A and B are shown apart, each in its own frame.
Chain A
Amino acid sequence: EIVLTQSPGILSMSPGQRAILSCRASQTVDHSALAWYQQKPGQAPRLLIYAASFRATGVPDRFSGRGSGTDFTLTISRLEPEDFVVYYCQQYARSPRTFGHGTKVEIE
C-alpha cells in the first residue's frame, strides 16, 4: 500500500501568514490522484482539494494544492482564524485508499 507521510506534524503559525503543508508518498501517486481534507474538532473531514490541485466546491481560493509523483503540498496563502485545525492528505491512485497522519496547524 502507499504510505503517506505528512510534515510537519504540528505547524505553529500566526493569522495572516502563509502555511505550507507537505505530503510525501512512499510510491508514485499516478495521475496526481491525491486529495486534501480539513477536519475541525468534533466534525467530519471536509474535502478541500482533489487531483492534487483542484479546489472542491465552496473552498476559498486561499487554499491551493500542487505536486506530482511522490511530493505534494497544500498551501494556505493567508491563515484565517478558522484555518487552525487539522489537515489530511489521501491518495486514491491505488487500493487501499490511504491517508496521511495529519498536520495540525496551531496558533503560535
Chain B
Amino acid sequence: EEQLVESGGGLVQPGGSLRLSCAASEFTLTSEEMNWVRQAPGKGLEWLSYISNLDDTTHTEDSVRGRFSISRDAAKNTVDLQMNSLRPEDTAIYYCARGGKYFDLWGRGTLVTVSS
C-alpha cells in the first residue's frame, strides 16, 4: 500500500528552525509532484509549498516564502521542508501530500509547536 510518512516535528522556540521530512513507501518520490500543507489547531487546510517532479521547480505560498523552503533528497527518497524564523502562528500539523493539482495521497502529519 502506498504511504507517506512525515517526521521532524516537535516543540521549537520562536525564531527557531525545524526540518520536516516526508518519506514514501511503495513508490518513488522523485517521480511525483509533492506538496506541504498545514492545519493549525481547529482550523482549515493551508497549502504551503510545491516541488516539481520534472526539474525540481518550487512554488511557495506568500505568507511563508523566504522562511520555508521545499527540497528533494533523491538518495533518501524524501521531500523536506526547511522552516526558519518560526513564529507561534506556524503551530500546526504539517502534512505532505502527493499531486500537482489535487492531492490524492496524504501522510498522517507531524505536529509542529512554536512556543517559548
A residues sitting closer than 8 Å to B (CB atoms) are 33, 35, 37, 43-47, 50, 56, 88, 90, 92, 95-102
A51 to B36 alpha-carbon distance, docked (Å): 21
Chain A residues, CB < 8 A from B104: 47, 50, 56
A97 in contact with B44 (CB, 8 Å): no
Interface residue count on the B side (C-beta < 8 Å): 19
B108 in contact with A92 (CB, 8 Å): no
Tell me, yes or no, whether B107 is within 8 Å of chain A by CB.
yes
A96 to B37 alpha-carbon distance, docked (Å): 12
B45 in contact with A99 (CB, 8 Å): yes
Main secondary structure of the interface of A (DSSP, over half): loop
Tell me, yes or no, whether B61 is within 8 Å of chain A by CB.
yes
Q: Smallest distance from the beta carbon of B47 to chain A beta carbons, Å?
A: 4
Sorted nearest first, the 3 A-B pairs with minimum C-beta distance are A35-B102, A44-B106, A92-B101
A99 in contact with B47 (CB, 8 Å): yes
Q: Find A95's partner among B44, B59, B95, B102 (CB 8 Å cutoff).
A: B59
Tell me, yes or no, whether B62 is within 8 Å of chain A by CB.
yes
Tell me, yes or no, whether B73 is within 8 Å of chain A by CB.
no
Chain A residues, CB < 8 A from B32: none
The contact sample of 20 A-B pairs, CB cut-off 8 A, is A35-B101, A44-B95, A44-B107, A44-B108, A45-B45, A45-B103, A45-B106, A47-B103, A47-B104, A50-B102, A50-B104, A88-B44, A92-B102, A95-B59, A97-B50, A97-B101, A100-B44, A101-B44, A102-B44, A102-B45
